[in-house]
Amino acid sequence: MPETLLDAAKSVRENAHAPYSNFKVGAALITSSGRVFVGCNVENVAYPEGTCAEAGAIAAMCAAGERVITEITVIADSPTPVPPCGGCRQKISEFAAHDVPVTLATMSGKIETTTVATLLPGAFDSSHMEI
């Protein structure tokens, strides 16, 4: 059975480096070519230098030469599903169409699915820079 995005996100979450928040997050995305990329949060003693799980998955995708996200899943051990932070919403929006599903999950099995447009209404995009 192929690994689901949720399985991939759950698995990479174990590798999170989160000694300061103790809040491990995993993200997995699939691209238009069908490849899966994963990321976890990587914190730093200089707190603002930490990076989110979503940013790690997006960086891995770009490093592999891919640019189009068709689905993304994020998981954390939280009471309710954790939505991406504001910065990550913008990062996801760079590579995902408005209707791309974003699944948010908890380790206890709660799952919600929303979309890029719902998470970031009125997103700034390249059309705003057309002259």
> Least distance in Å: CB of 15 to ligand THU?
12
Contact 29, 2 (CB under 8 A): no
DSSP readout, 43-103? --SSGGG-B-HHHHHHHHHHHTT---EEEEEEEESSSSPPPPPHHHHHHHHHHB-TT-EEE
Contact 25, 82 (CB under 8 A): yes
Of 30 and 88, the one with the shorter C-beta distance to ligand THU is 88
> Least distance in Å: CB of 41 to ligand THU?
3
Q: Name the one range near ligand THU by CB under 6 A: 17-25, 30-38, 65-73, 92-100.
A: 17-25
Using CB under 6 A, pick the residue from 43, 72, 96, 116 that binds ligand THU: 43
> Annotated catalytic residue: which of 54, 71, 94, 130?
54
Per-residue binding letters, 48-77, with ligand THU (x by CB under 6 A): --x-xxx-------------------x---
Q: Is 54 a catalytic residue?
A: yes
CA distance 44 to 72: 25
Q: Which is nearest to 72 in space by CA: 119, 125, 123, 17?
A: 119
Interacting residues with ligand THU (CB under 6 A): 18, 21, 23, 25, 41, 43, 50, 52-54, 74, 82, 84-85, 88
